[in-house]
Structure 1
Amino acid sequence: MSNNFDRSISDEDVMRRRASLLQRLHIDGQLFLLLTVLAAGSLFVLYSASGKNVDLLLKQATSFGLGAVAMCVIAQFEPRFLARWVPLGYLAGVGLLIVVDVMGHNAMGATRWINIPGIIRFQPAEFMKILMPATIAWYMARHNLPPRLKHIAISLALIGIPFVLVVRQPDLGTALLVLASGAFVLFMAGLQWRWILGAVTAVVPVAVAMWFFVMHDYQKQRVLTFLDPESDPLGTGWNIIQSKAAIGSGGVFGKGWLLGTQSHLDFLPESHTDFIIAVLGEEFGLVGICLLLLVYALLIARGLVITVQAQTLFGKLLAGSLTMTFFVYVFVNIGMVSGLLPVVGVPLPFISYGGTSLVTLMSGFGLLMAIHTHRKWIAQV
């Protein structure tokens, strides 16, 4: 009996040591496991979607590595320390957007990148997906809630500046995600329902104004194509028609890895970026898409748990906004590729090819880990 008792104590000690190791490293085990699964799945699907392009695969793996380093480094800092640097980060982010507007690198008809030849090319708008909610959370945490009209107006101004700069690139999809990330913080801060209803009512006139004064011709055409893809099947409707054909042809179990025809025969454009889930659906079928959605759902659920358990107002607002923005990120891409939403050029998180996007997403989950693991440390001390 004493041996059994000693063994149970020993097992408890081992579990405590394991837990304390993760805690000392400030790594949330559940998030890390899910992100590792997504990273492996991304490389697996990308190899096929890119036409077996090994160079592209190595670049994506490198981006995952840089993102993992950024995530682990950010997780080491207490949320209170991070909050002190948020205003400076916001100013730096806006400054980079101004640099893009003035002298950014143009590619495929858009000026979205800062290019340092031979060194790095990155998209500053991606960083605002983190800096924006962090800034509004920092500002709201300094005032009593629910927010007053003055605080709402200042928050909207903080959101509006990067929103306008990103729209000018033009990159309406990223601009809307930046807008949503800041708006989620206001919502979680206890924004009164009359203001929410007012914002919903204003959607129609704002959309009309954007149609006539903001949106470019190709963006308008995307909306028209969304309403009737078959109106121009060989032109603007080609992408969405081929995407739906790829997903539908996969059936329940798919055609098999590397056996997809839409991407390998070049019927499906942007198969390794925005439309990569169509490749997944064709080769792995409904089962593959459901497994991916399950991993996404577990990530979102974990983010919501971290939000509920956060001990500071800043941490709670930031964690909630990052989680909800990640959900919108997934929803918009899948809705876009399946024809439920207009095409806005939003990549699929962790699966689509893209270095800046990957590093930004991993950094966001590093913030979630910092909020959660430092909470646990404080609770025990």
Structure 2
Amino acid sequence: MDLLPFGSDLSENNIFSKLRRVEWGMWFVLLVLATYGTILLYGAAGGSWQPWALDHIVRFFLFSAIMFTVAVIDIRVWYQLAYPAYIIVFVLLVGVELAGDISKGAQRWLQLGPLRLQPSEFMKITAVVALARYYQDLNVKNIEKIKHHIIPILMVIAPAGLIMKQPDLGTGITVILVGGVMVVLAGISWRWITGAIVGAVGLFVFAYNFLLHDFQRKRVETFLNPELDKLGQGYQITQSKIAIGSGGFWGSGFMHGTQSRLDFLPERHTDFVFAMLLEEFGFVGGILALVLYAAVMAYGIYIATSSRNIFGKMVSGGVTMLLFIYVSINAAMIMGLMPVVGMPMPFISYGGSVMLSVMFALGLVQNAKVYRDKIINSGFAKK
């Protein structure tokens, strides 16, 4: 709800007026989700605030400050930073390939002095913002011409390829899906979309046979038939299904889930926290969480449709899709509907990097709301 006419000097220059234009309902839903996660993490630690629950809720409030800061900065600043940020993160991805740290068999981190970064997390956001700028600059008459979509497609495929090589299949797929949605939101013809889907299926077959690592192929095979390796690759899915089934409709009760309390459920504080939620709070608790996520996405869709500049519209749509991918892949993964790819459930799973990146991204959505009437003059729209 708009409390002030945006065209006034007060709304343009006063930070408090800008904060009044923030979608506070969205932040409140995020607070409820973070609180939900804190309760689960408290139970996962056996009724202790350490080592996860306290950090989780403190991080949420710290990152909320970052979200609001991102929201009030002039949208034209983010427009100008879009390409430089993308280039920097892409260079960091190349740096990971050349000199990245190896941990648990994966080369995903880059040590820069005291900082240890995972550039792939930042690429999810910078790709969205860079593509939003590209389509802001593109003349609307050229949307149907496939040649004008070659550059954004390359902007997605290149980093996704580097990320998958680390190997990080989940993040690579996320970048491709978000990039694909951005191209669709831009208004590309459905005949090209159909061709892309057919090509993606062919690419998957090729990648499965020639590009995926042995352990990644094993994940796909185990997903199709967990019984092949119940004590190995299939262990996580099997235990997750047992936890979900034992929860039933109402759940077994807070801190009364046998799979989580007896340590059968792996990674119960990160990737499989939603399985623990379903075990303890049942179908009802799971639906409540999904309704909360749906509410956040509804805010994102509303902001995207109400924005009067293409940049804000595209950023909001892309970030909303990013959140949908996080939630849907994690939920499908813990139910055995998708292979295990290491995708956390935002605001419920423990982890600072993911919460920071998602909060920053949602700050950009809030920014699109605050500056929804701002005119962005690129000055070089493609003829």
User: Same-fold call, TM > 0.5?
Assistant: yes
| 1:23 positional shift | 4.2
| 1:316 positional shift | 0.8
Q: What corresponds to 1:24 in structure 2?
A: 18
Q: What corresponds to 1:63 in structure 2?
A: 59
What value does the CA root-mean-square deviation take over the aligned residues? 2.0
| Of 271, 274, 284, the match for 2:271 | 274
Deviations 1:323-376 (A, max 9, x none): 122112111110010011111111111111111110000011101111012226
- Paired AA for residue 196 in structure 2: A
The yes-or-no answer on 1:39 pairing with 2:39 is no
**Residues 194-205 of structure 1 aligned to structure 2 (within 5 Å):** 194-205=191-202
Question: Is the 2:249–2:284 Cα contact (8 Å) retained in structure 1?
Answer: yes
Deviations 1:261-298 (A, max 9, x none): 11121111111111110110111111110110110111
Q: What corresponds to 1:75 in structure 2?
A: 71
Q: What corresponds to 2:321 in structure 1?
A: 324
Q: What corresponds to 1:137 in structure 2?
A: 132
| Of 340, 350, 354, the match for 1:353 | 350
**Residues 177-188 of structure 1 aligned to structure 2 (within 5 Å):** 177-188=174-185
Q: CA 1:99/1:50 → structure 2, altered by over 3 Å: closer, same or farther? A: farther
Does the residue aligned with 1:72 lie in a helix, a strand or coil? helix
Q: What corresponds to 1:305 in structure 2?
A: 302
Unaligned runs of 5+ in 2: 5-10, 376-383
Q: CA 1:57/1:114 → structure 2, altered by over 3 Å: closer, same or farther? A: farther
Q: What corresponds to 1:243 in structure 2?
A: 240
Cα separation, 2, equivalents of 1:130 and 1:29: 22
Q: CA 1:333/1:210 → structure 2, altered by over 3 Å: closer, same or farther? A: same
| 1:67 positional shift | 1.9
Question: Is the 1:232–1:238 Cα contact (8 Å) retained in structure 2?
Answer: yes
The yes-or-no answer on 1:122 pairing with 2:127 is no
- Paired AA for residue 126 in structure 2: L
Cα separation, 2, equivalents of 1:248 and 1:34: 28
Per mean C-alpha deviation after superposition, the further-off stretch among 164-173 and 103-112 is: 103-112
Question: Is the 1:22–1:28 Cα contact (8 Å) retained in structure 2?
Answer: no
Q: What corresponds to 2:211 in structure 1?
A: 214
- Paired AA for residue 67 in structure 1: F
**Residues 75-114 of structure 1 aligned to structure 2 (within 5 Å):** 75-114=71-110
Q: Percent identity?
A: 40
Q: What corresponds to 1:189 in structure 2?
A: 186
Cα separation, 2, equivalents of 1:285 and 1:22: 42
Per mean C-alpha deviation after superposition, the further-off stretch among 290-299 and 78-87 is: 78-87
Question: Is the 1:22–1:29 Cα contact (8 Å) retained in structure 2?
Answer: no
> What's the TM-score, normalizing by structure 2?
0.89
| 1:151 positional shift | 1.7
- Paired AA for residue 99 in structure 1: G
| 1:124 positional shift | 1.5
Question: Is the 2:309–2:373 Cα contact (8 Å) retained in structure 1?
Answer: no
Question: Is the 1:23–1:373 Cα contact (8 Å) retained in structure 2?
Answer: no
| Of 367, 370, 376, the match for 2:367 | 370
Unaligned runs of 5+ in 1: 1-14
Q: CA 1:67/1:147 → structure 2, altered by over 3 Å: closer, same or farther? A: farther
The yes-or-no answer on 1:255 pairing with 2:252 is yes
Cα separation, 2, equivalents of 1:278 and 1:49: 12
Per mean C-alpha deviation after superposition, the further-off stretch among 319-328 and 85-94 is: 319-328
Question: Is the 2:39–2:53 Cα contact (8 Å) retained in structure 1?
Answer: no
Q: What corresponds to 1:12 in structure 2?
A: none
| 1:57 positional shift | 2.8
| 1:231 positional shift | 1.9
- Paired AA for residue 130 in structure 1: I
Structure with greater helix percent: 1
Question: Is the 1:147–1:189 Cα contact (8 Å) retained in structure 2?
Answer: no
| 1:122 positional shift | 3.4
Per mean C-alpha deviation after superposition, the further-off stretch among 267-276 and 66-75 is: 66-75
Cα separation, 1, equivalents of 2:90 and 2:200: 25
| Of 225, 228, 231, the match for 2:225 | 228
**Residues 168-183 of structure 1 aligned to structure 2 (within 5 Å):** 168-183=165-180
